Amino acid sequence: MYPELVTIGETMVVFEAAVDGPLRYASQFNKRHGGAESNVAIGVARLGRSAGWISQVGDDELGKYLVSSIRGEGVDTSCVRYDRHYPTGLYIKEKIT
């Protein structure tokens, strides 16, 4: 059976500074996934509907983290491909409130 909603696109691993201020002073980071495609799929799954996410991630630990985390939210990740030639994308973010 196919999911009711399928999203396609890149999701990156976001490392956000654990404290407010310029990035140059940050020494600890919180890790999460970020990307509209996976966030929409997760939201739909949390609402009790079926959702799938199609993408490509690096064949590395961060790629495995993304797929595992998103699958854990109830999203079908069976069409996500691992690429050993390109690493998973990273997004490093300052925390400024």
pTM: 0.90
Tokens representing 94?
């300052």
Give the span between the Cα atoms of 5 and 53, in whole angstroms: 9
pLDDT in tens, 55-91: 999 999 999 999 999 999 999 999 999 999 999 999 9
The three-state secondary structure class of 24 is helix
Give the span between the Cα atoms of 39 and 6, in whole angstroms: 12
